[in-house]
Structure 1
Amino acid sequence: MTHTVDGATTDLVDRLVGLAPGSATQALRHRRDKVAVATQQSYDALFDPALEGLTLAERLLVACYASRLTPSAALFAHYRDALEQHGVDAAARAAVETGAPEDLADARLRAILTFTRTLIENPVAGDKAALATLPAAGLTTPAVVTLAQLIAFLSYQTRVVAGLQALKQLETPT
């Protein structure tokens, strides 16, 4: 069941794809509603400001950058807007939006985004050496785990959005 607040859906994927309530694609997605609910709950948990290990700004920067690399225009726009809403540093936003995290002065953020690029573009290279760059940049083990979970979720989220966008294009207007 899609939850609504003041008539608007709180399901990010439904909103980004533009799934109208009762449309064929929306009905198909919610046939196994527990999957849609779990996807939203995962999003809510990973972007909860109280989540420890990585700051909300770092998590949003990872999401925006991953969405740029994939690419997913809808998710990129969503995460870019979230960065602006949360007042994330303009230089960090620019580095992510232009794809140049190596220009960042912040070694921790540079390592986080470099690892993100590695897992998105060449997951096999996400080996022990790649992982070792994260503690060397100041990340704790829980932060590294959170980062890996976030990147995995973003890959899943991107595929769900892309698949639903493709299905929506096949709908015949009624």
Structure 2
Amino acid sequence: MTQANPAIADVVDHVAGLAAGSATHALRHQRDKVAVSTQGSYDALFDPALPGLALAERLLVALYAARLTPAPELAVHYRDRLREAGADAALVAVAGQGDPATLADPRLRAILAFTRTLIENPVAGDEAALKTLPAAGLATPDVVTLAQLIAFLSYQVRLVAGLKALKTLQSKEAAA
């Protein structure tokens, strides 16, 4: 596996706080191929050997997307991954709480601006928004990877939020 902490077999289970054997964990794994495919997508998108966008860039996108959504548990996960990868602390700070428009690197500035567009107003992710990426030095395969990554992150955020809500509901029902 390519994830930073090999003890984490499933990032969604870990981030959502699903204990093996719990009702919510059992429900999620009834169709285990979905859980396995979700983790497989995570592993592929954050594989250090993936060509094009650097792992640090992908992780910065993930942290920024988690911040914008907001998904605090995922933000912690991606911030930890960035630290483990040795990412520049100033860049981590900008993605986690700063203003990406202040970045000196036009490539990263464009990547994070596009991330914000797709997270906050996906309809605005039109041709004009896409053209800002090649203008900042991204090759077409990098643009495709970025769009796939942002789509995956949107799915991951919603999945974690739904599982956490279900877990809370099941806990309340069990306590009643």
Query: Residues 14-163 of structure 1 correspond to what in structure 2 (within 5 A)?
Result: 14-163=13-162
Q: Deviations over 1:132-162 (max 9, x none)?
A: 0000000000000000000000000000000
What 5-or-longer segments of structure 1 have no aligned partner? none
1:47 touches 1:56 (CA, 8 Å); kept in 2?
A: yes
* Range 79-88 or range 40-49, more displaced: 79-88
Percent identity over the alignment is 70
Shift of 1:94: 1.4
Q: Deviations over 1:99-142 (max 9, x none)?
A: 41001000000000000000000111100000000000000000
Post-superposition, which runs of at least 4 consecutive aligned residues in structure 1 deviate over 3 A?
A: none
Shift of 1:21: 1.1
Report what 2:12 is aligned to: 13
Shift of 1:12: 0.6
Amino acid at match of 1:147: L
Shift of 1:92: 1.1
Shift of 1:9: 4.8
Q: How many residues align?
A: 169
CA root-mean-square deviation: 1.5
Shift of 1:17: 1.1
1:65 touches 1:99 (CA, 8 Å); kept in 2?
A: no
Shift of 1:93: 1.0
Q: Secondary structure in 1 aligned to 2:147?
A: helix
Shift of 1:20: 1.1
Q: Deviations over 1:67-99 (max 9, x none)?
A: 000000110000011111111112211111114
* Range 9-18 or range 132-141, more displaced: 9-18
1:108 touches 1:138 (CA, 8 Å); kept in 2?
A: yes
The two structures have a TM-score, normalised by structure 1, of: 0.93
Q: Please give the alpha-carbon distance, in whole angstroms, between the structure 2 residues aligned to 1:80 and 1:124.
A: 28
Q: Please give the alpha-carbon distance, in whole angstroms, between the structure 1 residues aligned to 2:73 and 2:134.
A: 32
